[in-house]
Amino acid sequence: MAMKSAAASAVRAFTSSAPSSVLARGLHASSDTKKIVAVTYTANEYASMNPNFVGCVENALGMREWLESNGHQYIVTSDKEGPDCELEKHIPDLHVLITTPFHPAYVTAERIKKAKNLKLLLTAGVGSDHIDLKAAADAGLTVAEVTGSNVVSVAEDELMRILILVRNFLPGHHQVINGDWNVAAVSHRAYDLEGKTVGTVGAGRIGRLLLQRLKPFNCNLLYHDRIKMDPELENQTGAKFEEDLDEMLSKCDIIVINTPLTEKTKGMFDKERIAKLKKGVLIVNNARGAIMDTQAVADACSSGHIAGYSGDVWYPQPAPKDHPWRYMPNQAMTPHVSGTTIDAQLRYAAGVKDMLDRYFKGEDFPQQNYIVKDGELASQYR
């Protein structure tokens, strides 16, 4: 009960933080019925196990009763791939499309062209790179996400993954499941986190939270970002700014990826860059799978140049069964789960509902939520 109460309090705080003003001309909603389509993951038997599990198809972001009682049509599906999928049937006449990074519906230029009534693209969560943002801007669409809704969730998950890799946790866990007992097989490559050099590529909301959480471990903390943190925050985290990315990477025992996926960052960790890293480096990536060269990572894990790789992001998603990261050694991969804890779901569902309510009323969104507005991309995607 205490956990449920705390989550509810967080939602109230999250949705009351920003003032509203008049929306840009292109996003005014008339009083007519709107067709709203949401694409997220199916929960099946898990849907009824927690009343706060709102992020799945069955529980529809907790908005079905509200939307339908106000006369709107609301379709929620997980079927998003191929010409005959459920999403494709609704593209021509939907007004609002809600997607999520955890089960991304890839909103391509072709889909945007077909969506003659589409005005608004909302991301339930953080990260809108599954949308062709240039095509959305060119079409005059508004794209927004629930900024900050799951940053704590992801930062906590990153810290967990760092410890799992550093302590060589998974082989010991697998021994227990398999009925084995071999201390040496784990301890020959288990280390303390204290004293290690940890660098984050990107020090936005998630990167800063991770640095704050790492400080008590007495690591040597580095960060690379296009914007230097203010001195007070640098002092608070003890992190040192590194202007040259490759110079920072060469110093790191552990690298954490915290940068958005853009044209500039796509494939930035290729074979050549990975070869320059310390032999035995550990990498955590909860940002986006396409930032890494898939085969280069698999090859480096196989050779031991990367001693451990962990994350929850893949390309594409869901990952196909033959994705090489499923089978490479020294990995601690999961499905895309870090930002969809129950607490995060409640926050991003509340944020989506708040923006829909503002849309219906002709009001502006919290400024930090905009990814595309009036034909302009947010700075982090330029």
Cα separation, 203 vs 367, in Å, equals 20
C-beta separation of 199 from 213 below 8 A: no
Neighbour count for residue 31 (Cβ, 10 Å): 7
**Per the annotation, does 150 bind a ligand?**
yes
**Per the annotation, does 294 bind a ligand?**
no
**Per the annotation, does 286 bind a ligand?**
yes
**Per the annotation, does 206 bind a ligand?**
yes
**Per the annotation, does 197 bind a ligand?**
no
Which among 129, 50, 139, 135 is positioned nearest to 317, based on CA atoms?
Answer: 129
**Per the annotation, does 261 bind a ligand?**
yes
**Could you give the count of Cα atoms lying within 13 Å of 310 in the half-sphere of its Cβ?**
23
**Per the annotation, does 138 bind a ligand?**
no
| Residue 19 in tokens | 């003032």
CA distances from 350 to 26, 34, 145, 245, 336 (A): 24, 19, 12, 37, 21
**Per the annotation, does 205 bind a ligand?**
yes
Cα separation, 281 vs 301, in Å, equals 10
**Per the annotation, does 326 bind a ligand?**
no
**Per the annotation, does 20 bind a ligand?**
no
Cα separation, 334 vs 323, in Å, equals 13
**Per the annotation, does 157 bind a ligand?**
no
CA distances from 76 to 43, 79, 264 (A): 12, 9, 33
Which residues are known to be catalytic? 150, 288, 317, 336
**Per the annotation, does 338 bind a ligand?**
yes
Q: Which residue positions form the known binding site for NAD(+)?
A: 205-206, 225, 260-264, 286, 312, 336-339
Q: Which residue positions form the known binding site for substrate?
A: 126, 150
